[in-house]
Amino acid sequence: MTTYRRFRNTDPPALADVWNEAHTARGAYPVRTPALLERWIFSKPYFDPDGLIVAADEESNLVEGYVLAGFAPTAELNALNFAEGVISSVAVRPTARRKGVGRGLVSAAEEYLIRKGARTLRAGPTWPQCPFGFGLYGGTNAPGFLASDPDADPFFRALGYQPAGQTAVYQKKLDQPIALADARFGMLRRRYETQVLRAAAVQSWWHDAVWGTLEPVEFRLVDKLANNFPAARAVVWELEGYGWRWGTPSAGILDMQVRPDLRRQGMAKLLVSQVLRFLQDQFFGVCELHAPTDRADLTGLCKAATMELVDTGTTYLKPVPEDRQVPLRQATGLTPVGV
Q: How confident is the chain (339 residues) per 10-residue block, as mean pLDDT? A: 96 97 96 96 97 95 97 97 97 95 98 97 98 97 97 98 98 92 91 89 91 92 90 94 95 94 92 96 97 96 96 98 82 48
The answer to whether the beta carbons of residues 69 and 112 sit under 8 Å apart is: yes
pLDDT for 329: 57
The answer to whether the beta carbons of residues 215 and 199 sit under 8 Å apart is: yes
Helix axes 267-281, 296-304, angle to 10 degrees: 50
The secondary structure of 86-104 as a DSSP string is EEEEEEE-GGGTTSSHHHH
The answer to whether the beta carbons of residues 39 and 213 sit under 8 Å apart is: yes
Helix (H, G, I), strand (E, B) or coil at 52: strand
Residues in Cβ contact with 75 at an 8 Å cutoff, skipping those fewer than 6 apart: 81
pLDDT for 331: 59
| Helix-strand-coil split of the chain, %, nearest 5 | 30, 30, 40
Rounded to an integer, what is the distance from CA 203 to the centroid of its chain? Answer: 17
**Element of type H or E holding 258:** strand 250-258
pLDDT for 325: 93
Residue type, 16: A
Give the ranges where the chain is alpha helix by DSSP (H).
Answer: 12-22, 35-37, 101-115, 152-158, 185-191, 205-211, 242-246, 267-281, 296-304
Rounded to an integer, what is the distance from CA 55 to the centroid of its chain? Answer: 24
Q: How many helices (DSSP H) and strands (DSSP E) are in the chain?
A: 9, 13
Question: Can you tell me the distance from the alpha carbon of 90 to that of 97, in angstroms, rounded to the nearest whole number?
Answer: 12
The answer to whether the beta carbons of residues 272 and 234 sit under 8 Å apart is: yes
Question: Could you give the angle at the alpha carbon of 119 between the alpha carbons of 118 and 120, nearest 5°?
Answer: 95
For the whole model, what pTM was predicted? 0.93
Helix (H, G, I), strand (E, B) or coil at 225: coil
The secondary structure of 113-135 as a DSSP string is HHHTT-SEEEES-BTTB-SS-TT
Question: Could you give the angle at the alpha carbon of 251 between the alpha carbons of 250 and 257, nearest 5°?
Answer: 160
Helix (H, G, I), strand (E, B) or coil at 204: coil
DSSP code, position 325: P
- CATH 3.40.630.30 maps onto the chain at 2-165+316-324, 171-314
Domain 171-314 has CATH 3.40.630.30: yes
The answer to whether the beta carbons of residues 131 and 46 sit under 8 Å apart is: yes
pLDDT for 338: 41
Enumerate the β-bridge partners of residue 217: 236
pLDDT for 37: 97
The architecture in CATH of the region 2-165+316-324 reads 3-Layer(aba) Sandwich (3.40)
DSSP code, position 326: P
The answer to whether the beta carbons of residues 290 and 143 sit under 8 Å apart is: yes
- Give the pairing type, strands 2-6 and 120-123: unpaired
Question: Can you tell me the distance from the alpha carbon of 155 to that of 107, in angstroms, rounded to the nearest whole number?
Answer: 13
